[in-house]
Amino acid sequence: MSATETPDAATARRRKLIAYVPLAIFLGLAFLFLLRLGAGDISRVPSALIGRPVPQTVLAPLPGLERDGKPVPGINPADFTGAVTVLNVWASWCIPCHTEAPLLLKLAADKRIRVVGINQADQPDNARRFLGRHGNPFVAVGVDSNRRASIEWGVYGVPETFVVGRDGRIAYKLIGEITERNLETTLRPQIEKALAATPSS
């Protein structure tokens, strides 16, 4: 307290300082958390499902969706065995999903892999319009209207992308939008790794 400061003013000043303590603690913890994630890169969050079989959840197809004149099927866990699969969780209301759509088409051009989608909490008309606008990279699309399947896959939010090996086990998970950079530096190498792997018995 300065010589000119009254006791009431000093008490008020101390109370203001004390009020900032929780904020300072929160900011400090947030900073440490971001450092732990690698400068805030949420795509580095580990998944407990890596190395485990895909969830055994059958998803119905997106009504009215066709590809090459034939109905696009839903998702059956048995279909993950025997081929390397890239599974993308998406929705028409997801802004980053619109941005990454052309990159999924690039991936789908690789005939060594299957690209499938889980459409999360979407309206069928909106989902079909989305694929009509951007193009359909998916050989199968499962509808997850209540987000239950997404929870079983350990999804934090859309978009997320998984690489599944020929053995039907989850090999890699990318949280967030596919970008030109992470497509070439991370996702494609993980796909190549899965293609080169010998399926476990």
pLDDT of residue 43: 45
pLDDT of residue 34: 46
Per-residue pLDDT of 19-34, as tens digits, reads 665 665 665 555 544 4
Q: How far apart are CA 129 and CA 124, in angstroms?
A: 9
Mean pLDDT of 161-173: 98
pLDDT of residue 36: 46
pLDDT of residue 33: 47
- Pick the residue with more confidence: 83 or 39? 83
pLDDT of residue 198: 79
| Burial letters 38-64, b for 16+ CB under 10 A, else e | eeeeebeeebebeeeebbebebebbee
Q: Which of 38-47, 108-117, 137-146, 160-169 has the weakest average pLDDT?
A: 38-47
Per-residue pLDDT of 118-142, as tens digits, reads 999 999 999 999 999 999 999 999 9
Per-residue pLDDT of 78-117, as tens digits, reads 999 999 999 999 999 999 999 999 999 999 999 999 999 9
